[in-house]
Amino acid sequence: MSGKATLVLRRGAPGEAPREERWEVPFEPGQSVLDGLRWIRAQRDATLAIRYSCTNANTCKECMVRIDGRTAYACTARLREGEMRIEPLPNKALLRDLVTEIAPPDERLGS
């Protein structure tokens, strides 16, 4: 029943050359892309930056990323066999890896 997804992640911080990383992630049918990203952090590389709060409920709306070129919530997109390309939102300022600045401008600390 279980499968293996290959997550191709775009990583890096502002001012760095973006790099691509590939991770093989085991999954059970029904598991989410966020499950896969959390697996990478706990099992392989905790420095991977991702953003989420509610984990599974799709209420916090914080885990929005690009999956295979489309904007999606990582918590509701499902893992599947083969390659999946995960990138930060292109229209928001990059903070690190898959995390972009999504807070309303008047709720930021400022510089």
Partner 1 sequence: MTQHEHLQTDVLVIGSGGAGMYAAIEAARKGRSVILVDRSLVGRGGATVMAQMTVAVALEEGGLDHPEHHLADTLAAGRGLCDAAIARLLCEEGPARIREMDAWGVGWARENGAYKRAFAPGHDRPRCVYVDFLNTGPAVSKTLRAQLNRIPEIRRVGDLRVTALALEGGECVGASALHVASGRTASISAAATVLATGGLTRLYRRNSASANMTGDGYALALEAGAELVDMEFVQFFPIGHLAPRLVGMDPIMWDPFRYKLGGRLLNGRGEEFIHRYGARDEGRYVVTRDVATYAIVKEVAAGRGSPHGGAWLSFEHCSEAELRAAGGPVIDRLAANGIDLTRQPVEVAPIAHYHMGGVRVDAAMATRVPGLYAAGEAVGGANGANRLSGNAITEALVFGRVAGASAAARAARRRARAGRGAFRAHAAALREGRARPDFNPAAMLEALQSLMQEDVGPFRSRAGLERALDRLRALAAELPAARPAAGRPYDCALVDWLDLGAMARVGECVAAAALARCESRGAHQREDFPGMDPQWAFNQTLELEDGALRVRGAPVPA
Interface residues with partner 1 (CB under 8 A) are 13-14, 28-32, 38, 41-43, 46-62, 73, 75-76, 78, 95-97, 99, 101-103, 106-111
Shortest distance, position 47 Cβ to partner 1, whole Å: 5
Shortest distance, position 64 Cβ to partner 1, whole Å: 12
Shortest distance, position 11 Cβ to partner 1, whole Å: 12
> Three-state SS string across the chain, please?
CCEEEEEEEEECCCCCCCEEEEEEEEECCCCEHHHHHHHHHHHCCCCCCCCCCCCCCCCCCCCEEEECCEEEECCCCECCCEEEEEECCCCCCEEECCEECCCCHHHCCCC
